[in-house]
A = this chain, B = another copy of it.
Amino acid sequence: MIHQAAVTRRAAVIGGGVIGGGWFARFLLNGWDVHVFDPDPEAERKIAEVLANARRSLPSLYDVAMPTAGKVRFCPTVEAAVADAEWIQESVPERLELKHRVMTQIQAAMPRGALIGSSTSGFKPSELGAGVPHPESVLVVHPFNPVYLLPVVEVVPHASVSEESITHALETLRSIGMMPLRLRREIDAHVADRFLEAVWREALWLVKDDIATTQEIDDVIRFGFGIRWAQMGLFETYRIAGGEAGMAHFLAQFGPCLQWPWTKLMDVPELDDALVKKISDQSDAQSGMRSIRELERIRDDNLVSMMRALKGRNWASGRTLREHDERLRRDETPPDWSQPVVTVSRPVPIDWTDYNGHMNEARYLDLFSSAADRFMELIGCDVTYVAAGSSYFTAESHLQHIAEVRAGECVRVVTQLLAGSGKKLHLFHRLFAADKAAAEGRLLATGEQFLLHVSLETRRSSVPSEALQERLRDIESKHAALPRPGRLHCGQRD
């Protein structure tokens, strides 16, 4: 399972700013050797900063190890950087005459058959090609920041680039994890930046006219349509909104609105029958293989999964979810310590199921882990206690999987304290599905856990606070009266 690419490939990165640095990191971490040229004396430091960001985030995207990173060389000239490169990525500042000069230098020194990708956000390939000796090696290859994470890249070849070269360019970009999108025709600013520019112009008006602040504009985007656009774009989203009546019917309603003053940007095309048909045909080709109901479910599952991901980061809509969790928890009744304690009561979320259609086995431990966290909180080992430098770490867990459970079902964990003296905490959890037929519900699994109290500074076991010990002694004596599980599996190291 050691990755050994047959031959190490080599890229040259010309211009090492935020964009060039992002390219550098993406090639390097995908196993390419990368040669860099940037006349800025600070270039090496700046690129190292981008690479540090990429190293901590890019490998996280994958569920296999990435190849061994390639070798880096900072070169004193453009010529030295490109001499043995098969791919040259040009990311110098957006001045056409500068791009012409640098590309001419590149073409004089690069190997025969090498390709030049230009990161330009504005210039058309015809403009780039007009000032260089070999336009047949020039493609617009426009990425998005951060280049090491975002997959899309707009590819617009010069008219003289061969189909073979284009195919090779697309395959090269895929080989470093990207999603190349070949545009059919060249246009100022390609496609994505035309939207960004339109949004930017409208945003300037809204701030200038005191309708909204930058914060409010950002919030209305990221708590709303921004989440939708991370998974479906404009047309698939509207197709769903239009429902079973279809895209053409939906579009017909839009005709009059285009004359309304809903933006300051008023140069609108006529939404005539031909344009309605064109859009609805393209939409059918794009999404017609799925019913509206199916698209709705896909959309909702995507939204739930992404918002839950942001919940893990406590950011944007994820923070709103945490706040609502807190609001819902306020109504919880305090535990009855004469019984096993309810430590979890929740639905099984959509993103916890696997290819077998049931809750993934790892989530059973997730539930027992949450149950232990909640138990700790209830006995006073809470956020404040942890912030003061101590916590419990799990040393051992034993799970018995008894029955399956599916997304949407409500589950409950009840926790019994088996032992809680000294540094040890020995818990027994029972997981039930909240099945109305049985009083307790349907038993899904049991989890036995053995935890140790630790100092978060030394990462070694330590004695809990006196208050915590006293609390545990009290619960231990109450739970000693409860029926205990049969055979125990944890707490005896080999």
Contact = CB atoms under 8 A, between A and B. Distances in A.
B235 A218 contact: yes
A105 to B, nearest CB: 25
Contact of A331 (B4, B154, B229, B257): B4
Interface in A331-362: 331-333, 335, 342, 345-351, 355-356, 360-362
A299 interface: yes
A463 interface: no
B207 A191 contact: no
B151 A300 contact: no
Interface in A361-416: 361-366, 369-370, 386, 391, 393-401, 404, 407-408, 410
Contacts of A108: none
Interface stretch (A57-65, A424-432, A464-472): A57-65
Contacts of A492: 487
Interface residues of A, number: 188
Contact of A207 (B53, B60, B282): B282
A160 interface: no
A224 B321 CA distance: 25
Contacts of A201: 198, 258, 263, 265, 267-269
A205 B193 CA distance: 14
Contacts of A369: 360-362
A228 interface: yes
A313 B301 contact: yes
A113 B370 CA distance: 43
A269 B211 contact: no
A305 B300 contact: no
Contacts of A363: 362
Nearest to A370: B63
Interface in A134-165: 144-146, 149-152, 154
Interface in A254-312: 254, 257-258, 260-269, 271, 275, 278-279, 282-283, 285-286, 293, 296-312
A104 interface: no
Given A61-B349, A229-B221, A407-B60, A212 B199 contact: no
A50 to B, nearest CB: 9
Contacts of A396: 398-401
Given A55-B408, A192-B221, 5 more contacts: A188-B261, A198-B201, A203-B235, A230-B306, A312-B351
